[in-house]
Chains A and B, each alone.
Chain A
């Protein structure tokens, strides 16, 4: 495959207060082996050499694990490939002469900070509302092998814990729902004996915070699962709904 020339339509927005616009850029001689973000690096180098401000985008690990990169690429969160983050996307997925649209996540609960960078702090606040097990650091917790955990449960908990908190699920959902993200954390703990103790309180608090942040409702369209780079399964949402209902019944009884 030879090198390619591309047209990029990119969202530029000075800051949270300003209105943004789509701008057009050309990049030339891009290697199919370079990553999508390396292609943006090339564009940014060009912009800087023309004394213009480079495009601001979030990224850090560039290997699909930190969840920092985002980008809505030609209508798909993290681009056209399934199961990858933007930083893992390579230019061999595109063709010479393509026009690529690059936009930030768009969600009321995740406002744009600058260009392609959005504010995902709502995710942190949801985790702070209950995404933990209340155990202090001490050298005296019980031996790690004290509670055997069936491999099946441990594996499922792990699969849920693999969420990288990128926000693609929200960006891709027509309702802007964060259910996949929240349910992943709720499930991880709900599946482990250590997490059961606080399970009811956790799910109520996390869902409450989620609603407060302005995320939309889940109408089971399943788009999130398709775009999630870590393959977080819709099963988690079902599990969270069950957890939520039973917790709600108990807490209503208590209150009632």
Chain B
């Protein structure tokens, strides 16, 4: 247990970070040149970290599996990034952002980390603007904001529906400047497949060059993992096809504890699946809930008629629609947090009110927003008694201005015009709050190995609020890690270059090679995707939006069975020493097959419902999540033992000094 020291600084919460920065070691500029840092991942977390560390003078080696750092999955983030700037004068503050995040996370996050996140949030916006990130602006030339779920202020900065893209291109440009200077060496199309630990410290990695198939050794004085989330354990998710858990899983198996794997975010507004061929799910940004109203028919016969295509949504009169979020949660309405909105959609669809052929869809309707904006616009233009058509036309223009690219994306996928007919949406796996356990310095339980961004567990508790992942990724990379890593590296200035011709590297490389060769030599009959899809189905059915003890046990057994079959009946074509996309996938799915079972173990251990973790046995009479603060106000940090079924649990008790622990209410 001694290993689990969260290193939270003492003192009042608002002074902790400042005090900590003053207390920790600093490496002098001349010595930084003698130190190498490996950064896995070039998303918002890894990209911002790599650039900032290189600016400080460290030698950075950055890795990503894509053909360019600019393509990390952060690029796909749509809606926005939070910061407590209070530009809208709506009484926002660091404290309020902190409070919203802890409450939104259903009181399962570490107070000190979250406060720090809120504290640096403003700096992120300043930094990004200085880099040339073109955030949305109003006519006065100042930055615009919108609202996201679970909060009552407008603190989300955005660049149309492409905020992640613009922020990532900002970090990418900062990286490019350092690449040009030779301070970052970029390894594109490389996949980290093992961590090398020497004398208990992280000293390097084994990576495979995905173009040539070559297996390479890279050494460094510290290794930073910013490899993103593990949502693809469900096969279908809003993640990219290549998003994977491999880097995180490898360090876990080398001694880094993995925390709260069962905290997964199912996002309420995604495009419903259309058939068996489906390879991924597409998010419709939460920002749409600013203006869209969610409903299903009140009458079962209407829902049936819609499913049979005998009725259209526009045929259902106002009084026969059930705006169920507004009905159940009058204070927050359509802007309740994601976990609440997702479960409410599932509840209605399970009760038979779903509106597409599969019965798994609800409406997100913009008609009233179009009318409201149309009237406003007509008024501004000085039109008296504008016709209904004119109002609609003007209103649609406003909506297009705000969400044009999302509406277009929707139309391309579904082949329906969402300006004219409500969108159909359904929850889908989106984000993983769980991840590698880190202390306040973002260091894992392996000295010298850090973990940042979605890959760590740190700031979002059991449920992440919208627009907070981008904030966390950039906070970690720009403003936290560059300081905290110095504390560790200050003791490394005399270490000298780390050699790679040592037994530890030999052994690590051999294990990677053996495993890849094993995957190629099974020569069974089934493809990687076959196994991945089966795993995904089990995960979704038993470890998805609602879980219970029986289902979880069943999932554990089934996953184990699929894993055994995988290792005896998999077929991977091609060779080791060449580009081989099937082999890449095989390695990732092999890890997911372990992670999935482990995930269910954590979900079974947590006998309560909180945030994204909903255990059917633990709910209030109204069907809301019922937490058990007495027994479960802890972070479950698991130690690998060799079998995903029997990890060792280490508890980090969560204490709340600055926020009162209470039942979350959005009513």
| CB of B52 within 8 Å of the partner chain | yes
Give CA–CA (A37, B279) in the complex, Å.
Answer: 9
Interface size on B, residues (CB 8 A): 81
A139 touches B527 (CB 8 A): no
Q: Which chain B residue has the least Cβ–Cβ distance from A113? A: B211
A162 touches B579 (CB 8 A): no
Give CA–CA (A55, B344) in the complex, Å.
Answer: 42
B141 touches A66 (CB 8 A): no
A142 touches B415 (CB 8 A): no
B48 touches A137 (CB 8 A): yes
B71 touches A194 (CB 8 A): no
Contact bitstring A168-211, B, C-beta under 8 A = 1, else 0: 00000000000000000000110010110000000000000000
Contacts of A136 in B (CB 8 A): 55
B window 538-589: CB within 8 A of A: 571, 573-574, 578-579, 581-582
Contact bitstring A231-242, B, C-beta under 8 A = 1, else 0: 000000000000
Contacts of A88 in B (CB 8 A): 409, 412-413
B275 touches A41 (CB 8 A): no
**With A66-B76, A148-B141 in contact, do A41 and B159 touch (Cβ < 8 Å)?**
no
Return the contact of B132 from the options A47, A120, A194 (Cβ within 8 A).
A194
A142 touches B130 (CB 8 A): yes
Contacts of A64 in B (CB 8 A): 409
What is the distance, in angstroms, from B550's C-beta to the closest C-beta of chain A? Answer: 33
Q: Which chain B residue has the least Cβ–Cβ distance from A189? A: B132
A31 touches B141 (CB 8 A): no
A161 touches B129 (CB 8 A): no
Q: Which of B118-126, B502-510, B628-636, B637-645 contacts A (4 or more CB under 8 A)?
A: B118-126
Interface of A is mostly: loop
Contacts of B131 in A (CB 8 A): 132-133, 135, 194
Contacts of A164 in B (CB 8 A): 165
Return the contact of A34 from the options B69, B172, B173, B275 (Cβ within 8 A).
B275
| CB of A56 within 8 Å of the partner chain | yes
- Could you say which interface size class chain A belongs to? 35 or more
B67 touches A68 (CB 8 A): yes
Contacts of B135 in A (CB 8 A): 144, 154
Q: Which chain B residue has the least Cβ–Cβ distance from A165? A: B70
What is the distance, in angstroms, from B143's C-beta to the closest C-beta of chain A? Answer: 6
Contact bitstring A105-147, B, C-beta under 8 A = 1, else 0: 0000000011001011101100111011111111101111101
| CB of A248 within 8 Å of the partner chain | no
Instruction: Give the residue among A63, A121, A128, A154 with the most B Cβ atoms within 10 A.
Output: A63
| CB of A94 within 8 Å of the partner chain | no
B579 touches A15 (CB 8 A): yes
B window 342-378: CB within 8 A of A: none
Give CA–CA (A118, B444) in the complex, Å.
Answer: 37
What is the distance, in angstroms, from A29's C-beta to the closest C-beta of chain B? Answer: 10
| CB of B22 within 8 Å of the partner chain | no
Contacts of B661 in A (CB 8 A): none
B571 touches A51 (CB 8 A): yes
| CB of A58 within 8 Å of the partner chain | yes
Contact bitstring B174-218, A, C-beta under 8 A = 1, else 0: 101101100000101000000000000000000000010000000
Give CA–CA (A163, B76) in the complex, Å.
Answer: 13
What is the distance, in angstroms, from B173's C-beta to the closest C-beta of chain A? Answer: 4
| CB of B424 within 8 Å of the partner chain | no
**With A48-B573, A132-B177, A139-B120 in contact, do A66 and B66 touch (Cβ < 8 Å)?**
yes
Return the contact of A66 from the options B73, B174, B279 (Cβ within 8 A).
B73
Contacts of B159 in A (CB 8 A): 158, 161
Contacts of A195 in B (CB 8 A): 132
| CB of B51 within 8 Å of the partner chain | yes
Return the contact of B413 from the options A90, A132, A139, A147 (Cβ within 8 A).
A90
B132 touches A34 (CB 8 A): no
Instruction: Give the residue among B132, B282, B409 with the most A Cβ atoms within 10 A.
Output: B132
Contact bitstring B262-288, A, C-beta under 8 A = 1, else 0: 000000000000110111101100000
Contacts of A117 in B (CB 8 A): 579
| CB of B136 within 8 Å of the partner chain | yes
A35 touches B279 (CB 8 A): yes
| CB of A150 within 8 Å of the partner chain | yes
Contacts of B73 in A (CB 8 A): 60-61, 66
**With A15-B578, A67-B71, A113-B211 in contact, do A133 and B282 touch (Cβ < 8 Å)?**
no
What is the distance, in angstroms, from A115's C-beta to the closest C-beta of chain B? Answer: 9
A113 touches B579 (CB 8 A): yes
| CB of B142 within 8 Å of the partner chain | yes
A150 touches B141 (CB 8 A): yes
Instruction: Give the residue among A117, A144, A145, A188 with the most B Cβ atoms within 10 A.
Output: A144
What is the distance, in angstroms, from B654's C-beta to the closest C-beta of chain A? Answer: 28
| CB of B75 within 8 Å of the partner chain | yes
| CB of A228 within 8 Å of the partner chain | no
B278 touches A61 (CB 8 A): no
| CB of A54 within 8 Å of the partner chain | yes
B176 touches A135 (CB 8 A): no
A134 touches B177 (CB 8 A): yes
Contact bitstring B63-83, A, C-beta under 8 A = 1, else 0: 000111111010110000000
Give CA–CA (A38, B276) in the complex, Å.
Answer: 10
| CB of A21 within 8 Å of the partner chain | no
Contacts of B186 in A (CB 8 A): 124
Contacts of A194 in B (CB 8 A): 129-132
Instruction: Give the residue among A34, A58, A66 with the most B Cβ atoms within 10 A.
Output: A66
A window 15-74: CB within 8 A of B: 15, 30-31, 33-35, 37-38, 41-42, 45, 47-49, 51-54, 56, 58-68
| CB of B140 within 8 Å of the partner chain | yes
A144 touches B275 (CB 8 A): no
Q: Which chain B residue has the least Cβ–Cβ distance from A136? A: B55
Give CA–CA (A129, B176) in the complex, Å.
Answer: 8
Contacts of B279 in A (CB 8 A): 35, 37-38, 41, 62
| CB of A9 within 8 Å of the partner chain | no
* Extra contacts besides A48-B573, A60-B242, A90-B412 (6): CB < 8 Å: A65-B75, A128-B179, A137-B48, A157-B134, A161-B166, A162-B162
Question: 5 nearest interchain CB pairs?
Answer: A148-B141, A132-B173, A158-B134, A141-B130, A144-B129
5 A-B pairs with CB atoms under 8 Å apart are: A14-B578, A54-B581, A133-B130, A137-B478, A158-B136
